[in-house]
Amino acid sequence: MAGGYTGKILRVNLTDGKFKIETLPEEWIKPYIGGDGFGAKLLFEELPAGIDPLGEQNKLIIATGPITGTMWPMSGRTVLISKAPLTGIWGESHVGGFLGAELKYAGYDLLVIEGKSEEPVYIDIHNSDLQLRDAKNKWGLTTDKVTTAIKKDKRDPDVQVAAIGPAGERKVRYASVMINHARAAGRTGMGAVLGSKNVKAIAIRGHGAVEVHDLEGFMKFAKEGHMRVRTNPIAQGMSKVGTWGLVAVKQEIGEFPTYNHQTGVFDGWEKLSGDYIRPRHTIGDRACFGCSLGCKKVNYIKDGPFAGTLEEGPEYEGLMAFGSLLGIDDFATTLKANQICNRYGMDIISAGSTIAFAIEAFVKGAITEKDTGGLKLEWGNREQLIKLLEMIGEREGFGELLAEGSKRAADSLGRGTDKFAMHVKGMEVSGQDGRTHRSIALGHATGARGADHLRSLVVVDQLGYEDVATKRWGADKLPEIIDPYTEKYKANAVFESENAYCIRDTLIVCWYTVSWPPIFWMDDFAKILPLTTGENYFSKVENLTEIAERQVTLKRLFNAREGITKKDDSLPDRFTKDPMPEGPGKGQVVDLEPMLRDYYTLRGWDLETGLPTENTLKRLSLEWTKAHS
Amino acid sequence: MSDIIDHEVVYLPSQLIVDFSKCTGCRICELACSAKHEGKFQPSLARLKIIRYDDLGLDIPNVCGPCETAPCVDICPVFAMRRDPITKMTYLDEDMCILCKSCVGACVNGVILLDTVKMRIIKCDHCGGDPECAKVCPTGAITYGPDTSLATVDRHGKILGYLKEIERTDKVHGTGAE
C-alpha cells in the first residue's frame, strides 16, 4: 500500500451487528486520492438511486485522506458522507478536531455504517477491538453529556467521540454530528442519518501509526509549511480573532447578510466584530489536530441574561446566522444560541436561516399567529431565538415545521412563503451574497450539496488579492476577475478554486490556509502528495486537476441520478431580481445565466441540461457510472 | 505530603518550560516527537502528552521535567534511570532496564511509557539538548532553555492543582472502585 494510507476499510452492519474489515482497493488511489474521492466512488456504487435518506438502505461514510494524521498543517479534518436528509441529494460535511486522525491510528482509512439497529447503540472502535455497545441509557442526552459519559465508560480522556443530540434522534433535517463537544459536522443533516439508524455515537481510539513514503522530505516540507502559516500576517490575525475578523470586512464590502438576506449592511455589526468580542469574552485559544493557526475561541459570558455560558465558537457563520440575519447585535445571544445548537446537535446556518425565513414571512403577513402557535415573531428578539431553537430541537409546536428546513416549511405553508426561503436545492444559503460577490452566486447555484460556501468560494476576488489573482489566473484576466460586481471570468475563478478545493478535500486538509488566507495551492499539494504516498502521478498539477474534475463530475452524476438538472442550479429570486438596497453594492443583482454557461463549458457539461456529456465521461474515465444508473 | 523527604535538590541548567495558557492543544509536538524518535506519526508513542479538556476548553501539555527531585530516578530498583551529572537530565540506560515499570507509575507528569509492542520503556531525552517539541510549537507554549527556578516551583503548584482536579472528578464521576 502507498504511504499515508492504512489500507483498510471498516464496515459495520447495524442490522446484523457485524463488523467487517476490507482491503482498500489499491486502484482507487490514483483516480480518487482519498477523503471525498473515496466517499463519492463508494456511495455512487453502493447506493441505489431514489432511496430514502432516512431509510435503512442509506449509508454513512466517515472518510480520511492520505495526509490525515500526519504533521502537514491542518491535517485533522474528516468528512462525513451520505445521502442528505435535508436535500435528498449528495451530502457531505467536513469537520475538524481529532476524529479522522484517531480513526487512522486505529487502523482504518474509512468507516462505513450500514443498515439500521433495533435498539439505540454506540459504535466503539478501539484499535482492532470492535463493539456495538448499548446506548439506551444515553438516548435523549445532549451531545456534551453523551461525550462525557462515553469517556467515563471507557476511562480514557483521549477517546474521540462523534455524537448526536436530541435533534438527531428526532431526525431534524439539519441535525449535526458533534465531535468532542464543539466540532460540528453541521450541514446537510448527517446527525439525522445516524439518528435514523439508532446510532447515538461513534467512539474511536487508536494507538497505531501513520507512515509516509519519504519521512525526511515530508518533515522538511511540513515544517516549512508550518512556518509559512506562522509568519503569514492574515493567519496571525486569525489566530487572534478566528473568523470573526470577517465581520468588519463583510460589512465594509456590503456582504454581511442581514434580515434574511434583505440587505448586506448591518447597523449593529460593531458588537459582532472580533475586535469587540475578543477582549470582552474570549478566555482561550484552541486548535484542531496539527494546526499552527488555532482559530477556535473559548468564550465566557460574565453577566446579562446568558451569564455563565461557556462555549467554543461561534464562527463567522454563527455570528451571521444568529446575529445580523435575525437583526441581533449581541454576542452573548449568538454564543448561547450556538451552545444550544451544539448540545441539541443542529446546523447553525440552516437553523438561523430557517428562523429568519419564518420571521420574515410573519413580519410581512404571509403567516400569522395561527401558524406559529401564538408566537409573535419579530426581528431582533433574543429570548425568542433561544426559545425557537429549543422548540426545533424538541420538534415541539411550531418547531416541528421549522425542523424540516426552510424549503419544506415553505412548501407546506404555501401562500407565497417560498420567496422568503433562502435555499438552493433545499440547503440554506450561507453567509455570503452573490449580489456583492458575483463568484459566490455561481458557487451557491452549482454546489453539489446546495448553497455551499466551502466547495468553491473564491476569496481572492472578494477581498481583492491582486498579486494572488495574477499568479493563479494570469494578468490578462485582470481587472475583471477580481471585480466582485461583474460576471466576466467568474466561471474561471470558480472552476479553478473548486478544483483546488477538491484536492484539499481528498487530502484532507482544512479550508483555512488553502481557501483563506491563500497560503497553499495546487503546486504545494503536488509536492506533498508524492512525498506522502510515493506516487509520482500526483506530482503534476494537471493530473491533480483531472482528479478534481473527475470528482466534481462524479458528484454531479450522483445528483443527476436523483433528478438534478440545470433548472436546479438556480438562486433565490432575492439575489437575481431584488437589487441590493444599500451599501457599496447598491443596485447590484446577479445575472446567473452567462456564468452558468461559462461554467458548464469549462466542466464539459451540456449547456441545456447541465449534465456531463458523453465526451466528458470518457475523458474522466467515468464510464463505469453508467452501470449504476 | 510532609513525610516525603527530598533526597537531592539540583539546579537544572536547561529545562522544558510549559505555559499552558498558550497551548491550543494542536498536538503538533506529539507528531514531531514521534516522527523524530519513531520514524512515523504515532502520538501514542510520543515522549510528551497534551491533555485536552474539551468540556472546559483547556489544554495542558505534560512534558518531562523540570524535576529537581526525580521520582523516576528515586524509584528505579536497578539504577537504570539516572541523572546526567552535567545536564542534570534524567535518562534511561536501556541495557540495565528490567522493565519493572516502576518509573511509569512514579512519573508525576505521566510521560514515561511502556511500548507494549517492542517491550521497552519510552522516556524523553530532551533530544540531547535540542528538543523537537519546543522547536515546532506554534504558540510558544513549550520552550526550552535555562530559566529561573520559578518554573520548577510553578510545577509544584501545577501538581497540587492536578491532585485537586482528580479529587474533584472522582467526587463527580466516581473512581470506578465502588
Is residue B3 a part of any domain in this protein? no
Whole-number Å distance between alpha carbons of A419 and A466: 37
Q: Do A157 and B139 touch (CB under 8 A)?
A: no
Cell reading at B80:
537504570
Note whether B57 contacts A: Cβ–Cβ < 8 A: yes
Q: Do B24 and A286 touch (CB under 8 A)?
A: yes
What residues of A are in contact with residue B40 (Cβ under 8 Å)?
209-212, 215
| Domain CATH code at residue B118 | 3.30.70.20
- Whether the Cβ atoms of residue A595 and residue A571 lie closer than 8 Å to each other: no
pLDDT tens, residue by residue, B59-106: 989 999 888 788 899 899 999 999 988 888 899 999 999 999 999 998
What residues of A are in contact with residue B138 (Cβ under 8 Å)?
226, 229-230, 292-294
DSSP 3-state assignment of A436? coil
Whole-number Å distance between alpha carbons of A452 and A428: 8
Whole-number Å distance between alpha carbons of A189 and A94: 12
Q: How far is A218 from chain B (nearest CA, A)?
A: 10
Q: How many helices (H) and strands (E) does chain B have?
A: 5, 8
Q: Do A286 and B35 touch (CB under 8 A)?
A: no
The domain in which residue B33 lies consists of 15-173
User: At which residue does the C-alpha cell 512515523 appear?
Assistant: B40
Element holding A200 (H helix, E strand): strand A199-205
User: First vs last Cα of chain A: how many Å apart?
Assistant: 31
Whole-number Å distance between alpha carbons of B107 and B146: 22
CATH architecture of A432-628: Orthogonal Bundle (1.10)
pLDDT tens, residue by residue, A44-68: 999 999 999 999 999 999 999 999 9
What residues of B are in contact with residue A283 (Cβ under 8 Å)?
57
Note whether B138 contacts A: Cβ–Cβ < 8 A: yes
Of the residues A71, A148, A293, the best mutation for testing chain B's interface (the one with the most B CB atoms within 10 Å of its CB) is A71
Q: What share of chain B is helix, strand, coil (3-state, %, to 5)?
A: 35, 15, 50
Of the residues A143, A215, A512, the best mutation for testing chain B's interface (the one with the most B CB atoms within 10 Å of its CB) is A215
What residues of A are in contact with residue B51 (Cβ under 8 Å)?
157
Q: Assign B173 a pLDDT band (cuts: 50, 70, 90).
A: low
Kind of pairing, strands A8-13 and A18-23?
A: antiparallel
Distances (CA, A) of A133 to A18, A57, A60: 12, 22, 18
Element holding B51 (H helix, E strand): strand B49-53
Whole-number Å distance between alpha carbons of A346 and A350: 8
Note whether A284 contacts B: Cβ–Cβ < 8 A: yes
Cell reading at A528:
506533498
How many cross-chain Cβ pairs, A to B, lie less than 8 Å apart?
A: 96
Averaged pLDDT of chain A? 95
Whole-number Å distance between alpha carbons of A79 and A36: 7
Of the residues B24, B37, B53, the best mutation for testing chain A's interface (the one with the most A CB atoms within 10 Å of its CB) is B24
Domain coordinates of chain A in residue numbers? 8-205, 240-421, 432-628
Q: Which amino acid belongs to residue A496?
A: E
Is residue B20 a part of any domain in this protein? yes
Is residue B138 a part of any domain in this protein? yes
What is the phi/psi pair of residue A236, to 5°? -65, -40
pLDDT score at A610 = 95
For the domain with range A8-205, which CATH number is right: 3.40.50.720, 3.60.9.10, 3.30.2230.10, 1.10.10.10? 3.60.9.10
pLDDT score at B2 = 46
pLDDT surpassing 60 at residue B7: no
Sign of CA dihedral A285, A522, A64, A456: positive
B-contacting residues of A 129-188, CB under 8 Å?
144, 147-148, 152, 155, 157-158, 180-182
| Reported CATH class of domain A240-421 | mainly alpha
DSSP code of A25?
A: P
User: First vs last Cα of chain B: how many Å apart?
Assistant: 26
Q: Assign B155 a pLDDT band (cuts: 50, 70, 90).
A: low
- Whether the Cβ atoms of residue A410 and residue A427 lie closer than 8 Å to each other: no
What residues of A are in contact with residue B26 (Cβ under 8 Å)?
287-292, 294
Burial class (CB in 10 A: 0-12, 13-18, 19+), B55: middle
pLDDT score at A247 = 95
Q: Assign B167 a pLDDT band (cuts: 50, 70, 90).
A: confident
Report pTM: 0.94
Name residue A95's beta-bridge partners: A78
Q: With a cut of 50, list the residues of chain A below it in pLDDT.
A: none
Element holding B33 (H helix, E strand): helix B28-38
Q: How far is B9 from chain A (nearest CA, A)?
A: 34
Whole-number Å distance between alpha carbons of A94 and B94: 44
- Return all residues near B20 (Cβ < 8 A) that are at least 6 apart: B58, B59, B60, B61, B141, B158
Element holding A119 (H helix, E strand): none
pLDDT tens, residue by residue, B29-41: 999 999 999 999 9
Chain B residue whose CA is closest to A293: B138
Cell reading at A428:
440554506
Note whether B143 contacts A: Cβ–Cβ < 8 A: no
User: At which residue does the C-alpha cell 453529556 appear?
Assistant: A145
Distances (CA, A) of A194 to A53, A60, A82, A349: 11, 8, 10, 20
Q: Do A215 and B35 touch (CB under 8 A)?
A: yes
Note whether A254 contacts B: Cβ–Cβ < 8 A: no
Distances (CA, A) of A16 to A11, A19, A113: 12, 9, 12
Burial class (CB in 10 A: 0-12, 13-18, 19+), A627: exposed
Cell reading at A72:
502537514
What residues of B are in contact with residue A181 (Cβ under 8 Å)?
54-55
pLDDT score at A478 = 85
pLDDT tens, residue by residue, A573-590: 999 999 999 999 999 999
pLDDT score at B8 = 52
Q: Do B139 and A294 touch (CB under 8 A)?
A: yes
pLDDT score at B108 = 85
User: At which residue does the C-alpha cell 462525557 appear?
Assistant: A148
Element holding A124 (H helix, E strand): strand A121-126
Q: Assign B174 a pLDDT band (cuts: 50, 70, 90).
A: low
Distances (CA, A) of A326 to A243, A307, A322, A586: 19, 21, 6, 21
Is residue B103 a part of any domain in this protein? yes
DSSP 3-state assignment of A171? coil
Whole-number Å distance between alpha carbons of A473 and A465: 12
Q: How many domains does chain B have?
A: 1
DSSP code of B91?
A: E
